[in-house]
Structure 1
Amino acid sequence: MTTAVTSPSPAPAAPSPASARRAPARLGGLDLARALAVLAMFTVHLGAPFTPEPLEEAVRTASHGRSSALFALLAGVALAMMSGRAQIPSGAPLAAARGRIAVRAGCLAAIGLVLIRLDTPVAIIIAHYGGFLLLALPFLGTAPRRLFVVAAAGALAGPQVSYLARSGLEGLAPGGWAHTALVSTGAAPFLLTGMFPAVSFLPYVLAGMALGRLDLADGRVRARMAAWGAVLAAAGYGGSRLALWALASPGEAARVGAHTYFHGAVPLEGPAWLLTGVPHSGTTFEVAGSAGVGMAVVAACLWAADRAPGLTAAPAAVGAMSLTVYVAHVLGIWGVRAAGWGQAPLLAEAFAVAAVAGAWAWRRRFGKGPLERLVAAAARRWGGAAGRVLPAGRGPGHRAG
C-alpha cells in the first residue's frame, strides 16, 4: 500500500521592504509655496491683483527678488523629493536620479530659450533654472548638514568672488578670446552678470535640497525652519543696514541706500555696494534675507495646507503645475502686448483668476499639468541613458550601507 505524500503548500512570500512601504504622500504645502512664488512673479510683471492702489507698489516691492529666490529654494526641495527625500541616494539610484534630473534640466533650458525668443519684458528664470539643476547634480548624494554648510559658504564667498571676477571682466578687450569665451558664449551672464547669476542663486538651491532631505511632515522640523528663516531674514536685512552704518562713509551709505532694486549684481563702484540687501543685488545680505523669507514662507505654507486643505487646494494647483502656469503667463503677456492690450484694466486680476481657476480645473480633471507630463515622460525615456553618461561615483556625502 502506498501512501500519498503531499508537500505542504508554500507559505506566501513576505512582502519586500520596498513593496511594504507606502509611497510618501505629496506635501500640498510645497505646492502652495510654489504657487505663491509664481503668483508673486505675476505681481512683478503685471501689478498686484486685488490690491488697493496705495498698497500695490508695496506688494510689488515685496515680491521683487524674493519670488525668484523662493522659486530657486523650492527647486532644491524638488531635487530632494525626486531623489529619495530623506533617503540619501548612492550608487545606481544616485546615477539614475542624476540622469532623470539632467534630462529635466535640458527640457527646462530649452523651454526657457524659446520663451526668451518672444522678447517679452519678463526676465525668464526657467532657462537659468535648468542650469541651476545641472550645477546641483554633484551634491545630490550629500547629507543635509553638509548641504547647509556648502550653501552658507557659497552665500558668504560667492558674491565677493563675483565682485572681483566682474571687475576683471571689465578689463577684457572685446573680441578677444577671453571675452568671447566668457561673455559671448553666455557663461559670464549665467554665472555672474545676469538677472539670476548662478553664483548667488545656487545657495538657494542647495539650501532647498537640504530642507527636502528633512522630514517636512514633522511639526518640529517646520517650527525650526520658521525660526531659522526669521533669524536669517533679520541677519540679512538688518545686518545690511548695520554694516552700511558701521563700515561705509555717510556719503557711500546714502548712495547705496538710495537704490531699492538691482538687475542681478551690484555696481562695481566700490566695496560698499556689497553691503546692500535689496532685491536682485546678489550680495550675501540679500541671499541671507531672501533665503530666510523663503524658509518661513515654506513652513507657513506647510502648516496652512495641513490645516485648511480645502481652502488651499485651488491656489496649490498652481504650484502643482507651476511650469505650465509660468509658461502660460509669459505667452499671455506676449499675446496681450502683440494685441496692444498691455495697458488694459484689471489685467493682473484676469491673469491671476485664469491661473488659479485654470490650474484647479485642469488638475481636478486631468491630474498632472501638460508640460509637467511631457517633461516627466522625457525624463523617464532618456533619463536612463543620461544616467549612464553621467559619473555615478561616490559623491560627497555618500553613506555606506
Structure 2
Amino acid sequence: MAERVNGVDAARGLAVLGMVLTHVAVAAAGTVPFTVAAGRSAILFGVLAGVSLALATGGPDARVTPRARGRIAVRSALLFALGLGLATVSTGPMVILCTYALLFLLALPALRWRPRALLLTALAWAVVAPAVSFLLRSAFPSDTAGGSVSPGDLTSWAAAGDAAVRLLLTGAYPVLTWVPFVLVGLAIGRLDLRAAAVRIRVAFAGLGAAVAGYGGSRLALDVLGGRAAIRAALAPIAAQTGVPVDQLTAVLEQGALGTTGTITPAFLLVATPHSGTTFEILGSAGVAAMIIAGACALPSRVLVPLSAVGRLAASVYVLHIVAIALLDGLAPGWNGRPSTAFVATAVFAAVILVVALLWRHRRGPVEWVLHTLPEAVVRPRRAAVAA
C-alpha cells in the first residue's frame, strides 16, 4: 500500500503546485506553463478528492461504515467553513474548498458503488450536465460569472440564494459539472493501483478520455463548423464594441470562469480550461487519470519531494492564498509581469518543497484539524449509541 499512497500523494503535490502556478503567475496567462496548468491542476485535485474518499473507506476492499460516513460529513462541514474564511482573505484566487465540501457530501451515496458503475455514471453526468447547465443559464441569465462563496453571502436570504446558484451552477467551480471528477476518483481509488496491469488500464483509459475530449473538441470546432458558428454568434458583439471577432474568439483558447457563454450552443464544443463542457471534463479527467497511474508506477524514492507536498496539500493550499494576499497588500504588482510572475512562482515552489520535506513525518496544521475534529465528533456519538 505504501507505493500506492506515495503515488497518490505525489499526484496531489503536483496538483497543488500547478494551482500555485496559476494563482501566482497570473500575468503569464497564455504562456505554455500556465496553459498546461490552467484548469487541469484544479481538476486533478478534484479527481484526487475522490481517490482520497476511496482510500479512507478501504480502497479496493470498500469498508463504508456509518462512522466513516460521519467523519466525511464532518470533514465536509469543516472544509466549507474553511473555504468561507479563505474567500474573505483571498485577493485574487477563487477558492475551491466550498465546492469540494459539497462534492464530498454528494459522493456519500456512491461510496459502495463498483468502479464500473462509478465510471458509467461519471460519463453520463459529463454528457448531460453541461447541456443542463447551458439550458438553465440561458433561461435564467446572470450578469456575473465565476467567483466563489464568501461569508458576505450569508448576510441575507437573497445573498444566500445567489451564493447557492454560484456554487451549483455559475461559479468558478460549479458543483453541477464537477461531480464527474469525484466519481472518477472514487473509481480509481477502488482499484488496486499496486498492480501494474491495473495502472496500465487506468493510463490507457485516461489517454482515451483525453483524446476524446481534446481531439473531439478540435474536430467539432475546426472540421464540423463549431468555430464558424461561434464567430457568427460573436459578430454582432464585435460590430457593437469595435473589438475584432478574432480577438473575441481568441478568448476561447485562454480560459473561462467555470462555464461557457450562452450566446450559442456551439460554445459547448470548446475544451477551454474552466469551461465545464463535456469535452473539457473528458479531457481533463483523462489527463488526471494518466498522472495518477504514472505517479503510482514510479519508485517511492523518486516521489519523495512531491509526496511530501501532497501530504500537506490542504495546508499548502490555505497558506499560499494567505501569502498571496499578504504580498498584494505589502507590494502591489509584485507579480505583474510574466518574468517576475515566474520568478515568484519558483520562489513559492521552492519554499513549499523545503517546508514539506522538513515536515513530511507529521500532519500539516490544516490536515491535523481535518483529521482530529471529525474523529472527536464522531467517536462520542458512537459511544453514546453503544451506551
Q: 1:224-269: CA deviations, max 9, x gaps?
A: 1111111110000110111224544663254685312110000010
Structure 2 residue 21 is the aligned partner of structure 1 residue 43: yes
* Counterpart selection for 1:312 from 292, 295, 303: 303
Structure 2 residue 276 is the aligned partner of structure 1 residue 279: no
Shift in alpha-carbon separation, 1:250–1:201, aligned structure 2, 3 A: closer
What is the deviation of 1:216?
1.0
**Contact residue 90 and residue 321 of structure 2 kept, 8 A:** no
Shift in alpha-carbon separation, 1:316–1:161, aligned structure 2, 3 A: same
What residue in structure 2 maps to residue 139 of structure 1? Answer: 110
* Counterpart selection for 1:227 from 204, 207, 210: 204
Structure 2 residue 76 is the aligned partner of structure 1 residue 105: yes
What residue in structure 2 maps to residue 15 of structure 1? Answer: none
Once residues 98 and 193 of structure 1 are traced to their aligned partners in structure 2, the CA distance between those partners, rounded to angstroms, is 29
State the AA in 1 paired with 2:317.
Y
Unmatched 5+ stretches in structure 1 = 1-22, 173-179, 389-401
Q: Give me the TM-score of the superposition, normalised by structure 2.
A: 0.84
Once residues 247 and 215 of structure 1 are traced to their aligned partners in structure 2, the CA distance between those partners, rounded to angstroms, is 40
Structure 2 residue 205 is the aligned partner of structure 1 residue 211: no
What residue in structure 2 maps to residue 192 of structure 1? Answer: 169
Shift in alpha-carbon separation, 1:386–1:191, aligned structure 2, 3 A: farther
Once residues 227 and 120 of structure 2 are traced to their aligned partners in structure 1, the CA distance between those partners, rounded to angstroms, is 34
What residue in structure 2 maps to residue 351 of structure 1? Answer: 348
**Contact residue 132 and residue 205 of structure 1 kept, 8 A:** yes
What residue in structure 2 maps to residue 240 of structure 1? Answer: 217
Once residues 134 and 125 of structure 2 are traced to their aligned partners in structure 1, the CA distance between those partners, rounded to angstroms, is 14
Shift in alpha-carbon separation, 1:83–1:386, aligned structure 2, 3 A: farther
- Partner-residue secondary structure (3-state), 2:60: coil
| Cα RMSD, aligned residues only | 2.5
Structure 2 residue 149 is the aligned partner of structure 1 residue 152: no
What residue in structure 1 maps to residue 321 of structure 2? Answer: 330
Shift in alpha-carbon separation, 1:24–1:98, aligned structure 2, 3 A: farther
* Counterpart selection for 2:260 from 257, 266, 291: 266
**Contact residue 109 and residue 126 of structure 1 kept, 8 A:** yes
What residue in structure 2 maps to residue 360 of structure 1? Answer: 357
What residue in structure 2 maps to residue 201 of structure 1? Answer: 178
**Contact residue 265 and residue 280 of structure 1 kept, 8 A:** yes
Once residues 367 and 352 of structure 2 are traced to their aligned partners in structure 1, the CA distance between those partners, rounded to angstroms, is 16
What is the deviation of 1:71?
0.4
What is the deviation of 1:122?
0.5
State the AA in 1 paired with 2:11.
A
What residue in structure 2 maps to residue 13 of structure 1? Answer: none
What residue in structure 2 maps to residue 60 of structure 1? Answer: 34
Once residues 136 and 227 of structure 2 are traced to their aligned partners in structure 1, the CA distance between those partners, rounded to angstroms, is 27
**Contact residue 72 and residue 205 of structure 1 kept, 8 A:** yes
Shift in alpha-carbon separation, 1:181–1:249, aligned structure 2, 3 A: same
Shift in alpha-carbon separation, 1:343–1:132, aligned structure 2, 3 A: same
What is the deviation of 1:182?
9.3
State the AA in 2 paired with 1:41.
M
What is the deviation of 1:119?
3.6
State the AA in 2 paired with 1:329.
H
State the AA in 1 paired with 2:127.
L
**Contact residue 192 and residue 198 of structure 1 kept, 8 A:** yes
- Partner-residue secondary structure (3-state), 2:372: helix
* Counterpart selection for 1:380 from 361, 366, 375: 375
Runs of 4+ in structure 1 over 4 Å off: 23-26, 180-183, 253-257, 384-388
Once residues 133 and 249 of structure 1 are traced to their aligned partners in structure 2, the CA distance between those partners, rounded to angstroms, is 35
What residue in structure 2 maps to residue 19 of structure 1? Answer: none
* Counterpart selection for 1:32 from 3, 7, 10: 10
**Contact residue 98 and residue 387 of structure 1 kept, 8 A:** no
- Partner-residue secondary structure (3-state), 1:290: helix
Identical aligned pairs, as a percentage? 37
What is the deviation of 1:341?
5.4
What residue in structure 2 maps to residue 11 of structure 1? Answer: none
State the AA in 2 paired with 1:363.
R
Q: 1:278-335: CA deviations, max 9, x gaps?
A: 101100000000001100111111122x2xx333212210101100111111111011
What residue in structure 2 maps to residue 70 of structure 1? Answer: 44
Shift in alpha-carbon separation, 1:316–1:171, aligned structure 2, 3 A: closer
Unmatched 5+ stretches in structure 2 = 144-156, 235-247
Structure 1 or 2, whichever has the larger Rg, is 1
Structure 2 residue 94 is the aligned partner of structure 1 residue 123: yes
What residue in structure 1 maps to residue 85 of structure 2? Answer: 114
**Contact residue 101 and residue 383 of structure 1 kept, 8 A:** no
**Contact residue 317 and residue 359 of structure 1 kept, 8 A:** yes
- Partner-residue secondary structure (3-state), 2:260: coil
Once residues 325 and 250 of structure 1 are traced to their aligned partners in structure 2, the CA distance between those partners, rounded to angstroms, is 39
What residue in structure 2 maps to residue 5 of structure 1? Answer: none
Q: Give me the TM-score of the superposition, normalised by structure 1.
A: 0.81
What is the deviation of 1:126?
1.6
**Contact residue 182 and residue 188 of structure 1 kept, 8 A:** no
Once residues 314 and 24 of structure 1 are traced to their aligned partners in structure 2, the CA distance between those partners, rounded to angstroms, is 15
- Partner-residue secondary structure (3-state), 2:31: helix
